[in-house]
A and B are shown apart, each in its own frame.
Chain A
């Protein structure tokens, strides 16, 4: 049977990808960011998971508002990385695991979680910006991803609690998969930031720390918050942190935080954390 061996929380700021592509690993302004991912990359290299399930959000790239899925699961041998307006990134298409993706879709839907599925669509920085900091991509990615996109762009978006429940459903799906795969669940987004309107540039470090602590010790509290609470406390776009709760739902119960890196350089509190079930 497949098993969830850990969880990762990570920002998906597009500039992480830009800095990576430009080779800014040793630039003093960027070095703390890259250093923050190193322990997580090392852990992944040691544990060698077969798959990373990504709870992430599309940024109106794979989907447009004419048909915007609340939850959508990708199926494919490969996922191309999308051109978001600045051209293609120099990265190989990400590997997928068709059987695992389909099993998760079947399990979720039979479990009354009626998820949309997509095929043959490129995925954007919601998934792709942190990925090369976690996994090497030369000569090829070491494992597969299962992308699960969550609408956090166009309200109504799912509640924090619903995201947590999706994670619980994912766990049932993983644990009923017959192959002995090791799976890590990744929740992306945040932390505090706002990127639209005159309130752009808003951050709240106190709230970020409180969120990270509650995430480990009392996630129930976070599932009770409304979208308005996230928007007020962490900035409008920080509402995407509800995607971390999907990861937390998949790791229900006690977890141990093995790593936390927090780097607020310009506008988004760039964060990466690592958890193992206890």
Chain B
């Protein structure tokens, strides 16, 4: 255990991205990261299954991506910072992704914000 992170066990809804997680979910994170390149975006849009298979994603990983299961991807080990690159390809804003990770509709989530029209 990294002593800098000790004592967070009771903190709900938080998934620390450390080297253990990163190592385990390397292929998934690399696939998501690749979305910063226009060719990878085009390849994915043309044939998602082929793109994911060639990236070496397991059936479970492919299903999470296909369903755009944001909270599922985070729990699985995706770093939010590569997930947001995939969100651009999926046509989702970060605010929409936050709402979905919280299990709320976008409108309900925005009602909890100080300036809901700031989007």
| Residues of the B chain whose Cβ atoms lie less than 8 Å from the Cβ of A14 | 84, 94
Contact yes or no, A156 B18, CB < 8 A: yes
Q: A156-B4, A199-B14, A201-B109 are in contact. Are A265 and B114 (CB under 8 A)?
A: yes
Which residues of B, 64-102, contact A by the 8 Å Cβ criterion? 71, 74, 79-89, 94-95, 98, 101-102
Nearest to A32 among chain B residues (CB) is B115
Q: A14-B94, A84-B36, A226-B4 are in contact. Are A198 and B79 (CB under 8 A)?
A: no
A86 at the interface (CB under 8 A from B): yes
Contact yes or no, B102 A201, CB < 8 A: yes
Nearest to B33 among chain A residues (CB) is A64
B11 at the interface (CB under 8 A from A): yes
B25-45 CB mask vs A (1 if < 8 Å, else 0) is 010011001011110010000
A8-30 CB mask vs B (1 if < 8 Å, else 0) is 00000011000000000000111
Which residues of A, 185-217, contact B by the 8 Å Cβ criterion? 194-201
| Residues of the B chain whose Cβ atoms lie less than 8 Å from the Cβ of A44 | none
Contact yes or no, A266 B101, CB < 8 A: no
| Residues of the B chain whose Cβ atoms lie less than 8 Å from the Cβ of A90 | none
Q: How far is the CA of A28 from the CA of B74 in the complex (A)?
A: 34
Question: How many A residues, CB 8 Å from partner?
Answer: 42
A124-162 CB mask vs B (1 if < 8 Å, else 0) is 000000000000000000000000000001111101000
Contact yes or no, B5 A227, CB < 8 A: yes
| Residues of the B chain whose Cβ atoms lie less than 8 Å from the Cβ of A264 | 114
Contact yes or no, A153 B103, CB < 8 A: no
Contact yes or no, B26 A65, CB < 8 A: yes
| Residues of the B chain whose Cβ atoms lie less than 8 Å from the Cβ of A200 | 13, 98, 101-102
Smallest distance from the beta carbon of B28 to chain A beta carbons, Å?
11
Smallest distance from the beta carbon of B118 to chain A beta carbons, Å?
4
| Residues of the A chain whose Cβ atoms lie less than 8 Å from the Cβ of B80 | 195-196, 237
| Residues of the B chain whose Cβ atoms lie less than 8 Å from the Cβ of A197 | 13-15, 71, 74, 101
Q: How far is the CA of A232 from the CA of B10 in the complex (A)?
A: 10
Q: How far is the CA of A28 from the CA of B118 in the complex (A)?
A: 9
A221 at the interface (CB under 8 A from B): no
Contact yes or no, B86 A29, CB < 8 A: no
Smallest distance from the beta carbon of B34 to chain A beta carbons, Å?
9
Contact yes or no, B2 A155, CB < 8 A: yes
Q: A231-B8, A267-B95 are in contact. Are A155 and B115 (CB under 8 A)?
A: no
Smallest distance from the beta carbon of B1 to chain A beta carbons, Å?
11
11 A–B pairs (Cβ distance < 8 Å), ordered by A: A15-B119, A30-B118, A59-B81, A60-B82, A65-B26, A65-B79, A66-B30, A84-B85, A159-B4, A197-B74, A201-B102
Q: Report which B residues bind A (CB closer than 8 A).
A: 2-8, 11-19, 22, 26, 29-30, 33, 35-38, 41, 71, 74, 79-89, 94-95, 98, 101-103, 109-110, 112-119
